[in-house]
């Protein structure tokens, strides 16, 4: 999903909803993390340890950060595919398959294994491609009215 | 016959045959976002209604810095790791509601499309003593077209301003509900979430009829 409009775009200045912070003055914003994307070994990159907290998790994914499947969201349900041999999986991958005996959300996998969500998402995508996991992708982006009504009724019954 | 040759292998409950097809169909997940500045009670809100103690996941968020100093400067985008608390409520065996608490940073318009994709709506938690902490969240949801509700958390006894003043300060549209709730109490959080769900239902009806 993209923003309908960029408030910084001079051709389409934001009209409603411009709150004071958009106009306020203040110190500039630090630009220290490199403009996102590949934390793989690149020339001029600081030695491991300096920005280790940001980079190290992605060692588990062989340095990949970008190729995450957009179908896999925080709440997406994942379950282990019965019968797939797990002999050649990494410890993290094996832990994920082990956790998913019952359906579990990607966010819960990430929290329980203390893996960064981005890392979890890539590993889950890999395991899905390799046939170890079933990822239950929803068909429509926004839930239908009937589903919302069920949530409303369910919440109302909570005391 | 009394003799049981395999006393340890009696099946209790449902048998699970190796290689058998899927045992439990996964529930359909739906999610509501609980947003707001640091320390306004997002985790308290999630914890008040969640059936599990809130869990934490760390995630990348793209931060689009707002060029406040130098309007000519190109907008800088950086990524930062944020901690997100979440919980869930099982509606029934086939439906599960997730609540994700997300931090909002002043001076940043955060964009994280993954978070709002498929979300029903958002509850923006406001502490009236630091009302501007929630501006980024309000801006974000407005631009993303996500239904949201402003919830003034009265956990410190009473709100410092009345709701009309909060609405005026936030300059939200007329149809955005501004309400008071107490993040510590399940019933109060439930009622606030029901208002979010009403907004979501409106949107779903509009989408269906169009």
Which residue among A134, A136, A141 sits closest to B117, beta carbon to beta carbon? Answer: A141
Place of tokens 């909803």: A17
Instruction: Measure in Å the smallest separation between the Cα of B3 and chain A Cα atoms.
Output: 34
Which residue among B78, B135, B171 sits closest to A33, beta carbon to beta carbon? Answer: B78
Contact B126, B152 (CB under 8 A): yes
Instruction: Measure in Å the smallest separation between the Cα of B5 and chain A Cα atoms.
Output: 29
CA dist., res. B183 & res. B124, Å (int)? 12
Which residue among B68, B77, B118 sits closest to A36, beta carbon to beta carbon? Answer: B77
| CB contact (8 A) between residue B69 and residue A103 | no
ipTM of the complex as predicted: 0.80
Instruction: Supply the pTM of this predicted model.
Output: 0.74
- Determine the residue of chain B that is closest to A39 in CA distance: B79
Instruction: Measure in Å the smallest separation between the Cα of A131 and chain B Cα atoms.
Output: 14
- For chain B, 210 residues long, give each residue's pLDDT as a single digit of tens: 445 544 444 444 444 444 445 466 899 999 999 998 888 889 999 999 999 999 998 877 666 655 444 444 445 666 777 788 999 999 999 999 999 998 765 444 455 677 888 899 999 999 888 888 888 889 889 988 999 999 999 866 665 678 899 999 999 999 999 999 999 999 999 999 999 999 999 999 999 998
The long-range contacts involving A101-105, CB below 8 angstroms and separated by at least 24 positions, are A102/B24, A103/A77, A103/A78, A103/A79, A103/A136, A103/B24, A103/B25, A103/B26, A103/B27, A104/A77, A104/A78, A104/A79, A105/A74, A105/A75, A105/A76, A105/A77, A105/A78, A105/B29, A105/B88, A105/B98
């Amino acid at each position: 999903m993209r923003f309908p409009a960029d408030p910084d775009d001079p051709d389409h200045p934001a009209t409603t909803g411009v709150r004071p912070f958009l106009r306020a003055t203040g110190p500039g914003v630090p630009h220290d993390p490199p403009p996102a994307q590949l934390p793989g070994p690149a020339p001029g990159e600081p030695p491991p340890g300096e920005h280790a907290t940001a980079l190290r998790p992605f060692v588990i994914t062989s340095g990949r950060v970008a190729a995450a499947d957009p179908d896999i969201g925080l709440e997406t349900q994942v379950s282990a595919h019965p019968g797939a041999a797990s002999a050649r999986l990494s410890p993290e991958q094996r832990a994920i398959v082990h956790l998913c005996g019952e359906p579990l959300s990607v966010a819960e996998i990430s929290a329980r294994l203390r893996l960064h969500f981005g890392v979890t998402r890539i590993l889950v995508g890999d395991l899905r491609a390799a046939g170890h996991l079933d990822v239950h992708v929803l068909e429509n982006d926004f839930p239908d009215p009937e589903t919302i009504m069920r949530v409303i009724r369910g919440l109302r019954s909570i005391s | 016959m009394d003799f049981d040759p395999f006393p340890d292998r009696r099946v209790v409950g449902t048998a699970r045959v190796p290689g058998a097809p899927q045992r439990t169909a996964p529930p359909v997940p739906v999610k509501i976002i609980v947003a707001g500045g640091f320390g306004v009670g997002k985790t308290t809100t999630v914890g008040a209604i969640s059936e599990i103690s809130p869990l934490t996941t760390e995630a990348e968020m793209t931060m689009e810095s707002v060029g406040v100093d130098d309007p000519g400067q190109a907008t800088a985008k950086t990524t930062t790791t944020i901690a997100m608390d979440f919980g869930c409520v099982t509606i029934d065996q086939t439906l599960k509601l997730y609540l994700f608490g997300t931090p909002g940073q002043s001076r940043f318009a955060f964009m994280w499309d993954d978070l709002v994709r498929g979300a029903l709506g958002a509850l923006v938690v406001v502490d009236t003593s630091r009302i501007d902490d929630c501006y980024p969240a309000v801006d974000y949801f407005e631009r993303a077209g996500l239904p949201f509700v402003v919830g003034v958390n009265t956990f410190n006894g009473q709100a410092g301003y009345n709701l009309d003043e909060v609405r005026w300060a936030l300059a939200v549209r007329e149809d955005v509900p501004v309400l008071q709730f107490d993040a510590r109490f399940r019933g109060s959080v439930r009622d606030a979430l029901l208002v979010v769900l009403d907004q979501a239902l409106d949107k779903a009806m509009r989408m269906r009829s169009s």
